[in-house]
Amino acid sequence: MSALSWKQYFIYQADYQHWANELLFASLDRLDAQALGEPQGLYFSTIHHTVDHLLVVAELWRLRLQGESPIVDYKVRHHPDWRELKKALRQEMRGLQHWLEKQPDAFFEKEIAYRGSDGKDRRNWVRDVLTHMMGHMVHHRGQISAVATRLGAPAPEMDYIYYKRAVDNALAQSRQS
């Protein structure tokens, strides 16, 4: 078996993030809608604002990868409607995945320049930016999951290995068909 390229690795990672978000949403949908907007001791206070932060940061880094340097205010909630927020995060992650699929392999070996949220000029390797994006989502999903579980929602199994098993099982079933 050949080694995975950076490109293929991050395409899988984007798919995993989408999959894990779906499991988190299924868990959160079991809570009273009001609980999503109440302060829960998270850095962004509420579950809703923390999910909003996931979307805003994913959009921000994608735009930076595309050569833009938008400035974002993390203190405000950008997507007040919960259903629209979930839809937008789904679209963002699928959009990122499709965009990554269109990039040449050499893109993943590049360094990008952008203006940071602090206004300073920054440079990072594409693979480091993408690793940060994926880890950031896992980090905040874990926080949200802990709060949701405390509130009575089922604890979703969002670890990468569960995603990999689900993908492998789906592939095996499709081969049997």
Domains (range + CATH), the chain:
6-172 (1.20.120.450)
Task: Return phi, psi of residue 10, to 5°.
Answer: -75, -25
pLDDT score, position 76: 86
Please tell me whether the overall predicted TM-score, pTM, comes out greater than 0.75 for this model: yes
Region 45-51: mean pLDDT is 97
Region 42-59: mean pLDDT is 96
Cα–Cα distance, 174 to 166 (Å, whole number): 12
> 3-33, pLDDT tens digit by residue?
899 999 999 999 999 999 999 999 999 999 9
Buried (b) or exposed (e) across 133-143, using 16+ Cβ within 10 A?
A: bbebbeebbeb
pLDDT confidence band for 155 (50 / 70 / 90): very high
pLDDT score, position 109: 96
pLDDT score, position 1: 56
> 90-125, pLDDT tens digit by residue?
999 999 999 999 999 999 999 999 999 888 999 999
